[in-house]
């Protein structure tokens, strides 16, 4: 599985901690930035390249971190094919993948601590979409809505 990761200034430190944890556990991580702490960066500039990589298939899942996770979620869900969820617990991390085919995990560095962030990420990465009829039916409705509003 190809995993991308990105963060703005507020999420930079947590991104680095999570990235190092994942690399130490054998995951190949594609870092879309920020590559240094820059207090004036803007979350769309840091998170959008990761969302675009999910949309194009360059990576299959993404982890985006900003201060609250809200901005990362908003910008990610503007990109076709991205299903981003703002997650602060392990149940939602795996359930979002299993039921909704979530492919982008958004975390708030000012909301979750390091240990919980790692647990959430691990739950997200271990989960697989169920493909049950009821879940696929709902996902098809989401995909149709996305297609309807593509400009």
Residues classed as catalytic? 66, 99
Cα–chain center distance at 18: 13
Contact yes or no for 98/136 (Cβ under 8 A): no
* Core vs surface per residue 104-119: b (16+ CB within 10 A) or e: bbbbbbeebeeeebbe
CB 64 within 8 A of CB 102: no
3-class SS at 26?
Answer: coil
CA atoms within 13 A on the CB side of 15: 31
Backbone angles phi, psi at 38, to 5 degrees: -130, 110
């Amino acid at each position: 599985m190809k995993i991308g990761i990105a963060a703005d200034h507020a999420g930079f430190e947590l991104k680095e901690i999570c990235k190092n944890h994942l690399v130490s556990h054998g995951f190949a991580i594609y870092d879309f930035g920020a590559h240094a702490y820059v207090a004036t960066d803007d979350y769309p500039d840091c998170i959008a390249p990761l969302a675009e990589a999910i949309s194009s298939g360059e990576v299959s899942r993404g982890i985006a971190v900003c201060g609250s996770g809200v901005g990362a979620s908003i910008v990610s869900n503007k990109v076709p094919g991205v299903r981003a969820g703002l997650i602060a617990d392990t149940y939602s991390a795996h359930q979002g993948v299993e039921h909704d085919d979530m492919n982008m995990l958004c975390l708030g560095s000012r909301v979750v601590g390091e240990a919980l962030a790692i647990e959430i990420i691990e739950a997200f990465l271990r989960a697989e979409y169920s493909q049950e009829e009821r879940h696929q039916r709902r996902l098809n409705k989401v995909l149709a809505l996305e297609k309807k509003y593509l400009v």
